[in-house]
Amino acid sequence: MRLLSGGLPESEREAKAMTFSKEIESTTNGSPLDPAASISGRRITRFPDISYVHNPVMEKEVTNLFSHVPSGVIVDATIGGAGHAIALLRSRPDIDLIGIDQDKEAIEAAKENLSDFEQRVTLVHERFDNIKKVVEGSGVAKISGALFDLGVSSYQLDNPLRGFSFRKNGPLDMRMNALSGENALDLVNERSEDEIGKILKDFGDERFHQKIARAIIAARPISETNELAEVISSVIPAHSKRFKGHPARRSFQAIRIAVNQELSVIEPALTQTIQLLKVGGRCGILSYHSGEDRIVKQTIREHAGLKRQNSRYLPEIDDEAEIQLLSRKGQQPNEEEVRSNSRASSARLRTFEKINEGKHG
Ligand SMILES: C[S@@+](CC[C@H](N)C(=O)[O-])C[C@H]1O[C@@H](n2cnc3c(N)ncnc32)[C@H](O)[C@@H]1O
């Protein structure tokens, strides 16, 4: 197996943000955090009771999508625990795989989980909006397919030390690439009330964004996920708490999206992917909320030569469409999958095939 380092920091020296100022002493679901995994001034380690398990969403639909693409290389741009990747490699023995993830722990887990396919896999620690650089750096000119399974993995959500969870206490972090960049601690404690309010509104559709932003400013400093969840819950009116899941869910999602700049990377990644695909090559994108899906839909409709709906003023798009959408509205998981994997409930799979080389060749 080839392990290539992308442009992301690899060493602890580069990882200035890997230390935390405060020891977490609280509990997770009643069981104390393992002292060996404590976070005071240490590198994040894997939480001892959590193995890198992630149930791949719409696995059958994803393998079907790639069942007839030309032989060659498929890029799994969000390799995570390699659930989809294993299914793809099993179903197409003539395919090699490049796996990308911005989370170093995901790359390590994928390496372990893909040991049976060692000769066919290259793993790269990188952000997927650098997909073109990754593919070219691996010595590959054109690809047969690409998969984007957007958002966070169950492992990231369930590991309290990664600071994504409003249910399990941990340091406020939420970075997928835990080695660099602004974390949730900085965002929550240093951004202005207006900025925080806007993040909650734009990325979480949070109705009470102003109230929550004001409460966050008043409660600062906030250093743990439980504290933040309590501050948020305290200002959400009782009648709104009753039906809509955990009251902090939307705000946590919004902060996570802002910390990881999750929306701004989608369009450049898909545009590069379209250039990289061979004619007959295919791409699938699994998104989990409307903000992601809107960008995916707009980007691929434009490249498919379809005008944006409800706009008379946008320029006409080339007749020579580069791609063809494989379904108009995208696919959703069946009821059985939703029953057995709650993460699948909001999933939408949009797919397309490259039909024309277009201007970029
Ligand atoms: C939903 S999980 C993928 C799970 C995977 N399909 C599986 O079956 O195990 C999403 C993964 O994508 C990674 N990721 C999200 N955004 C990324 C980005 N912009 N660049 C690289 N990796 C990203 C996350 O770190 C996470 O490991």
Q: What is the pLDDT of residues 106-138, one digit of tens each?
A: 999 999 999 999 999 999 999 999 999 999 999
Q: Domain-by-domain residue ranges, the chain?
A: 1-177+260-361, 182-259
The answer to whether 2 touches 97, Cβ cutoff 8 Å, is no
On whether the pTM is more than 0.85, the answer is yes
Q: What is the pLDDT of residue 38?
A: 30
Q: Which tokens is 140 given?
A: 């590959």
Q: What is the pLDDT of residue 358?
A: 75
Measured between alpha carbons, how far is 102 from 109 in angstroms, rounded to an integer? 13
CA 217 to ligand 1 center in whole angstroms: 31
pLDDT digits (tens, 9 = 90+) for 214-234: 999 999 999 999 999 999 999
Grouping H, G, I as helix, E, B as strand and the rest as coil, residue 253 is: helix
**Do the domains 1-177+260-361 and 182-259 sit in the same CATH topology, yes or no?**
no
The answer to whether 216 touches 222, Cβ cutoff 8 Å, is yes
pLDDT lower than 50: segments of the chain:
12-48, 310, 315, 317
Q: What is the pLDDT of residue 308?
A: 53
Q: What is the pLDDT of residue 359?
A: 65
Domain 1-177+260-361 in this protein, CATH class = alpha beta
Indicate which atom in ligand 1 lies nearest the CA of residue 78: 12
Alpha-carbon torsion 184, 185, 191, 194, what sign? positive
In this structure, the residue with its CA closest to atom 13 of ligand 1 is 78
Pocket test for ligand 1, best of 101, 130, 154, 345 (most atoms within 8 A of CB): 101
DSSP code per residue over 287-308: E-SHHHHHHHHHHHHHHTTPPP
Q: What is the pLDDT of residue 103?
A: 96
Q: Which tokens is 134 given?
A: 């990754």
Measured between alpha carbons, how far is 169 from 222 in angstroms, rounded to an integer? 12
Q: Which tokens is 24 given?
A: 């977490």
Measured between alpha carbons, how far is 263 from 271 in angstroms, rounded to an integer? 14
For domain 182-259, give the CATH number: 1.10.150.170
Q: What is the pLDDT of residue 100?
A: 98
Measured between alpha carbons, how far is 295 from 316 in angstroms, rounded to an integer? 19
In this structure, the residue with its CA closest to atom 4 of ligand 1 is 80
In this structure, the residue with its CA closest to atom 15 of ligand 1 is 151
Measured between alpha carbons, how far is 109 from 100 in angstroms, rounded to an integer? 12
CA 80 to ligand 1 center in whole angstroms: 5
Alpha-carbon torsion 70, 148, 283, 348, what sign? positive
Do the bridges between strand 95-101 and strand 72-76 make them parallel or antiparallel, or are there none, so unpaired? Answer: parallel
Q: Which residues line ligand 1 (CB under 6 A)?
A: 54, 56, 78, 80-84, 100-103, 106, 127-128, 149, 151-153, 176, 265
Q: Say if residue 268 is preceded by a cis peptide, omega within 30 of 0.
A: no
Q: What is the pLDDT of residue 17?
A: 30
CA 198 to ligand 1 center in whole angstroms: 25
